[in-house]
Structure 1
Amino acid sequence: MADRHSRHRESGERRHRSRRSASRHHVSSPEEPRSGHGSRRTLSVDAIAALNEANAHGVSPRGSEEELERRRQERRERRRREQRAKADRDEYREVSTESPRAHRHRESRSTQLPPPSPPPPIQPYEDEDVASDYQSERRERRRKRTSKAHYESPRDPYPDMGHHDERESRRERKRTKKVAAGGSAATKKVQAQPKGAWQHMRGGGTNASTSYDSFDSKVEAYDDGEPRKKGFWTKKRILIGVGISIVILIIIIVAAVVVGKKGSKKSGSSTDSGSSASCLKCNLPSEDSIPSDAPDYLNPFNWYDTIDFNVTYTDVTVGDLPIMGLNSTWDNSAAANALVPALDEDWGSYADRPARGVNLGGWLSLEPWITPDLFAYDSSLGIVDEYTLCTYLGSSCASTLEKHYSSFVTESTFAEIADAGLDHVRIPYSYWAVEVYDDDPYLYRTSWRYLLRGIEWARKYGLRINLDLHALPGSQNGWNHAGHLGPIGWFNGTNGTQNVARSVDVHDRLSKFFAQDRYSSIISHYGLANEPKMTVISPSEVINWTETVYAMVRANGLNNSIVVFGDGFRGLANWQGEMSGYGDNMALDVHQYVIFNNEQIVYNHSEKVRYACDGWTQQSEQSMDTSTGFGPTLVAEWSQADTDCATHLNNVGWGNRWTGTYDTGNASDPLRALTPRCPAMDDTCSCTSANADPAVYSDDYKQFLLYFAEAQMDSFEAAWGWFYWTWWTSEASWQWSYKKGREAGILPQKAYDRTFHCNSTDIPEWSALAEWY
């Protein structure tokens, strides 16, 4: 680079020196050649003769009037030439070294031939005006020769850009503009092009070099064509370019903000129950690979989320249920933790190794108290369950619920469950994942693929699955978590028999699908019906249905899963002798809560822990003994909550027992509680503290909640294990979320490493705790 710079300065040395007026006296010695604008040339014969004639006649300083006028005119001409020279010099200094004009200055000097050997020196003239005439003539001839040599170069890369005559006239007009009427040099500043403008506007943006040589090559190409138009159009281009840049910048900023906001709105997954991927549909196939008539549940372009789904189109079904979204291979080598076997190993007896699990309630079967944000409507609209929600939303029910399915549970949910020392997951889902009937407003089959993806994520972390059909056609209990709050239409009502047949068909299809080999090691429990209300439905009819469905699913090949049936609120002791002979292939599911019982919710803090250790342990042991109970028993729902204060927990608008506002609307309902049922049983009973953030809990209250939870774990492990209700709640309800409770220190960090043990830990009295919250 240094050599290039040096070479350039040698060929155009005066580029960095001020110009000298040719009309001024200058003495040159033979030893020191003059530096001039062009190369020195010897005088012609005619010029020498003219000089000799002028010297012979002499020039008087005081001649005739014509002579005086001639001299004055020459002086004026000389001054104009000096002013033009000064203007050119000033302009040269002002022009940016990156501008095309600066390149032209460099090029005009660097392309000239090196000066020949100097001729004998010419003595200075005594008469200044005569010398001025000669120098003016000499300079004009040199300027024309240089201009012609420069513009008539045979190299012409841009031949369509005009001729040198037009270019010369433009330069002359430009020089004229720089001279004011009074003869002073104009001070108008030449606007330099922005950095890089040369390359972009002239097509030299690629492989551009920063050396002077490469710049000169671009200048030569530029000067052989028509120069850029300046003035109005140049400014217009700049303004247009700036405007376009601003618009693009605004679009980028807005897009970034929108994406950021979308990411921050992922309720349960991204910020709370797990991390969701930033791109929900990054693995779409070619659109022409999906048949145009494919239904939505087989068309990934109509899905909200395709993360970890196999989007290769297939209409293959098993049990008339689509396999679309599944990969053809799977890996059962993972274990949930070091204390339990991997999926491809036998679990052994649940009596010896009880399950420690958690529910994913409120995910695929909605419950208003778990996701109150989905039910935040005016009470006058009567939106109290999934049926009325989808009826109200109409066509937008699909997008609303699929966004919920996508964000409420993600892969990180299962990673966190395993990290908590849990080894099983119970997944509640509803019959409309399989089929819809009549005028059902439910979202058909969308939840099916999210169920399948959830199972695959559980597999990745070694978690076994308890499949729980939470809602049957017609509703098996009439509660909101069965889809439709109201009368029971399963067995009961006008369509009771038809709904029973439909429920059998649903299990026929489900059992055929999950009988596939890929599920033989991961589906540990297969639930038939969540909480059938046998206080209203005939127990004998439900028992007959249970045995019928059990025989069918086994015939369909579902042989490695334990079939689970609900206790129906009959009481564990009443199941002794029922459905005998199934051994360890069938298990009774009981849900244990003190807060939904008017007689137990009034227990104080120490009494609740004591009841968990004594009462529920005794029930578990008795139920496990076939002489006093059914036999295999598990507790698939329980909680550390000691109040029923969570919003919408007892159905939307029904109040709560704790403060005495629980009204079912049925005056003869023994479950109503219209007087306060907190331990104080007076007007001091309040839900404010119970619903508060655990950060404000006292140390005593935190200890009570931890001990109450761990006492229940101890008790239920006397049977076949437990599943906490539930993993996540979208708002408050801290005592119902295993994830939130663990973070708050009111649930153990590892489910298998606990502080409290019923047989070795003293139960404190917690006398300092108030008994009204």
Structure 2
Amino acid sequence: MASCSFMKWLISLYLSSCLLSLSCAARVTPNFKYRAVNLGGWLVTEGWIKPSLFDGIPNKDLLDGTRVQFMSVTTMKYLSAESGGGTIIVTNRTNPSGWETFSLWRITESSFNLRVFNRQFMGIDKQGEGVEVVAISNTTGTWETFEIVRKADDRNRVRIKAPNGFFLQAKTEDSVTADFGGNSSWANDDPSVFVMRIARTMRGDFQITNGYGPEKAPQVMKDHWNSFIVEEDFKFISENGLNSVRIPVGWWISSDPTPPKPFVGGSLEALDNAFLWAQKYGVKVIIDLHAAPGSQNGNEHSGSRDGFQDWGHTDENIQQTVAVIEFLASRYAQNPSLAAVELINEPQSPGVSLKSLTKYYKAGYDAVRRHSSSAYVVMSNRQGPADPTELFPITNGLNGVVIDVHYYNLFYDIFNNMTVQQNIDFIYTNRSAQLNVVTTSNGPLTFVGEWVAEWQVSGASEEDYQRFGKAQLEVFGRATFGWAYWTLKNVNNHWSLEWMIKNGYITL
């Protein structure tokens, strides 16, 4: 997003906020506000939070969803799915982009299905001589499974073995065939040799469980769940100015102890423990469906296999998600620590349509209300290009509804060159205006469900971080439901509220 248009958008949001609330100072102030921390990276895996979790996986840089590009050493051009898929594979592109990128589905540590831009899979054309490489199948099978053979002393130099036993070769720029049967010298005149570039990796639940496999994954995940968040953490939370936790969970938790492969059982027991600890230390729990079936945003934290977003495209998919909410609500509705159920985290616009989301939110709200009249129902705003007030019509006539917004001074170019003071001013001016838009006197409650005292500033001092954190606490404290820091524990210090509190960067 260009900085100029971004600023214009923020100004329009501010003007809209005054109209929506009649007075920008008009607010609903409940008796209790949630000062929460997210337990990210626990029951929903995010590799950047704890990278060591993946250390035991062989070929750990080629997990599900890894996006790879292959340059032929003879043509010096990239393998490409012509037209993005639906026809032949060629090797005639100088610069890699979407058509030249393949998403891996990991079968074993060295064999894969390769998905192309239009979602078909690379395979061997079984017609004719059966050697032409194409991308025409919407399903996977023997003829869509390839082995990536890496050079021992240069793992970026590879050969691709086809299901017919031969290696792919780039005979010409417009002809890629699976008919090279000889040994390789790995030299630059070998048409079966490619230089592999990894464009993107994913390290979520699908990647870790499928990467370790059914024999090792259950124990790896159990050890993580039993050690990453423990009872002592809830004691720490209760003693340091926090009164609640937001716990991300994945849709497979409702099938525990035998969820669909490759997911493994045990996260439900961990969530049960969290409720026990919460009750012991007087902490409230916000359950957050962070990963929905089919993935609502294509990110690793949504349980995605390959980065594609498929949630909400079918009624069956929506009904399956409602069933997860029904399961969670029925299990914990009578627990005194339950504060709220968040129906879905960060649905992505425009991939998730407002129509589908509206249908789901109404059904999800009803599912919670069948079991609890007091638990709040949290509806996450869509990420990306979307009207921040678009959920208001859904909430009309509903009780105990909360709108969740996420505010990070990250991820957009506008933040790249901001100074310390500019970041702080942005919180007081722009974020305040954005929060005003969704905080109205007669609308749903507001919740800044994710924020962090991290930015793009290099070399910031401890005092700079303290001022930045204080600004966010002050502004986000005006949200009528509350806020939740992302996250309690993280190898990146400023993303860890535990570290920030212990080291005096944030005081609550």
Determine if the TM-score, normalized by the shorter chain, exceeds 0.5: yes
Alpha-carbon deviation of 1:411?
0.6
Could you say which structure has the larger radius of gyration? 1
Q: Secondary structure at the match of 2:366?
A: helix
**Which residue is equivalent to 2:236?**
416
Match of 1:513 in 2: 331
- Separation of aligned partners in 2, 1:724 and 1:577: 25
> Per-residue CA shift, 1:73-108, capped at 9, x if unaligned?
xxxxxxxxxxxxxxxxxxxxxxxxxxxxxxxxxxxx
Is 1:389 aligned with 2:148? no
Question: CA–CA distance in 2 between the matches of 1:415 and 1:548?
Answer: 36
Cα distance change on mapping 1:491 and 1:573 into 2, 3 Å: closer
C-alpha separation in 1, matches of 2:387 and 2:423: 20
* Displacement of 1:415: 0.5
Equivalent residue for 1:587? 402
Contact 1:365 1:429 in 2 (8 A): yes
2:227 matched to 1:407? yes
Please show how residues 78-227 of structure 1 align to structure 2 within 5 Å: none
One of 51, 54, 58 as aligned partner of 1:372: 51
Give, in whole Å, the separation in 2 of the partners of 1:738 and 1:369. Answer: 16
Distance 1:586 1:415 in 2: 29
- Does the 8 A contact of 1:490 with 1:497 survive in 2? no
The residue aligned with 2:322 is 504
Rate the CA distance shift 1:439–1:449 in 2: closer, same or farther, 3 A. closer
Q: Match of 1:359? A: 38
C-alpha displacement at 1:434, in angstroms?
A: 1.1
> 1:552 — aligned with what?
367
- Separation (CA, whole Å) in 1 of partners of 2:236 and 2:461: 25
1:400 to 1:352, Cα distance in 2 relative to 1, 3 A: same
Match of residue 469, structure 2, among 685, 709, 714: 709
1:468 CA displacement:
0.6
Equivalent residue number for residue 489 of structure 2: 728
| Deviation of 1:381 (Å) | 2.5
Of 448, 467, 491, 2:312 maps to 491
**Residue among 744, 759, 771 paired with 2:503:** 744
Q: Please give the alpha-carbon distance, in whole angstroms, between the structure 2 residues aligned to 1:407 and 1:548.
A: 36
Output the CA distance in 1 between the equivalents of 2:207 and 2:259: 16
SS at 1:370 equivalent: coil
Which whole-Å CA distance do the structure 1 matches of 2:332 and 2:312 have between them? 26
Q: Given that residues 363 and 408 in structure 1 are in contact (C-alpha distance below 8 angstroms), is that contact kept between their aligned partners in structure 2?
A: yes
SS of 1:358's equivalent in the other structure is strand
> Whole-Å Cα distance in 2 between the matches of residues 356 and 375 of structure 1?
32
Q: Which residue does 2:299 correspond to in 1?
A: 479
Bigger relative CO (Cα 8 Å, ≥ 6 apart) = 2
Do 2:349 and 2:386's aligned partners in 1 also have CA atoms closer than 8 Å? no
CA separation in 2, counterparts of 1:427 and 1:622?
26
Q: Which amino acid aligns with 1:415?
A: K
- Between the aligned partners of 1:712 and 1:449, the Cα distance in structure 2 is 34
Q: Residue 263 of structure 2 aligns to which amino acid in structure 1?
A: Y
| Structure-2 separation of matches of 1:439 and 1:465 | 26
Between 393-402 and 739-748, report the one with greater CA deviation. 739-748
Q: Does 1:574 align with 2:381?
A: no
Query: Unpaired runs of 5+ in structure 1?
Result: 1-348, 644-677, 679-685, 690-699, 752-773
Change beyond 3 A, Cα 1:429–1:568: same
* Structure 2 residue aligned with 1:440: 261
Letter of the 2:332 counterpart: F
Alignment partner of 2:452 out of 635, 639, 645: 639
Aligned residues of 2:35 and 2:243 also touching (Cα < 8 A): yes
As a proportion of its length, which structure holds more helix? 1
Q: Deviations over 1:605-627 (max 9, x none)?
A: 00111111222222223311168
Which residue, 536, 539, 561 being the options, matches 2:354? 539
Describe the superposition over 1:536-591 as per-residue Cα deviations: whole angstroms up to 9, x where unpaired: 1111211121012212321x222111100110125564336421424551110011
Distance in 2 (alpha carbons) for counterparts of 1:577 and 1:438: 35
Distance in 1 separating the partners of 2:350 and 2:216: 37
| Shift in CA distance, 392/483, structure 1 to aligned 2, threshold 3 Å | same
Cα offsets for 1:320-350 (capped at 9, x unmatched): xxxxxxxxxxxxxxxxxxxxxxxxxxxxx85
Q: How far apart, CA to CA, are the structure 1 residues paired with 2:497 and 2:259?
A: 38
Q: Tell me how far 1:352 sits from its aligned partner.
A: 4.9
Structure 1 position 514, deviation (Å): 2.1
Q: In 2, distance between residues paired with 1:451 and 1:577?
A: 31
Q: What do residues 222-254 of structure 1 show as CA deviations (whole Å, max 9, x unaligned)?
A: xxxxxxxxxxxxxxxxxxxxxxxxxxxxxxxxx
Q: Structure 1 pair 380/360, CA: closer, same or farther in 2 (3 Å)?
A: closer
* TM-aligned CA deviation for residue 706 of structure 1: 0.9
DSSP-derived class of the 2:393 partner: coil
- Secondary structure, aligned partner of 2:413: coil
Matches of 2:476 and 2:437, distance apart in 1? 12
Relative to the length of structure 1, the TM-score reads 0.42
Residues 628-653 of structure 1 deviation map (CA, whole Å, 9 limit, x = unaligned): xx53110010000113xxxxxxxxxx
- More deviation in 506-515 or 357-366? 506-515
Deviation at 1:601, TM superposition (A): 3.7
Deviates more, 1:737-746 or 1:381-390: 381-390
What's the counterpart of residue 613 of structure 1? 428
Answer yes or no: is the 8 Å Cα contact 1:514–1:558 preserved in 2.
Answer: no
The CA distance in 2 between the partners of 1:499 and 1:600, in whole Å, is 36
Structure 1 residues 474 and 747: alpha-carbon distance in aligned structure 2, compared to 1, 3 A threshold: same
- Which residue identity is paired with 1:568? R
**Shift in alpha-carbon separation, 1:350–1:372, aligned structure 2, 3 A:** farther
RMSD of equivalent CA atoms: 2.2
SS at match of 1:392: helix
Indicate the larger mover: 563-572 or 467-476: 563-572
Separation in 2, partners of 1:588, 1:572: 13
> Residue 468 of structure 1: SS of its match in structure 2?
strand
SS of 1:434 mapped into structure 2 = helix
Matched position secondary structure for 1:381? coil
Tell me which residue corresponds to 1:467. 287
Contact 2:252 2:260 in 1 (8 A): no
Cα distance change, pair 438–559 in 1 and its aligned pair in 2 (3 A): closer
Match of 1:596 among 391, 394, 411: 411
SS in 2 for 1:534: coil
The offset of 1:499, in angstroms, is: 2.2
* 1:403 alignment partner AA: D
Q: Tell me the percent identity.
A: 27
Instruction: State the shift of 1:715 in Å.
Output: 0.6
Q: Return closer, same or farther for 1:642/1:553 CA change in 2, 3 Å cut-off.
A: same
Report how many aligned residue pairs link the two structures. 336
In the alignment, is the contact (CA less than 8 A) between 1:621 and 1:718 conserved in 2? no
**Structure with higher strand content:** 2
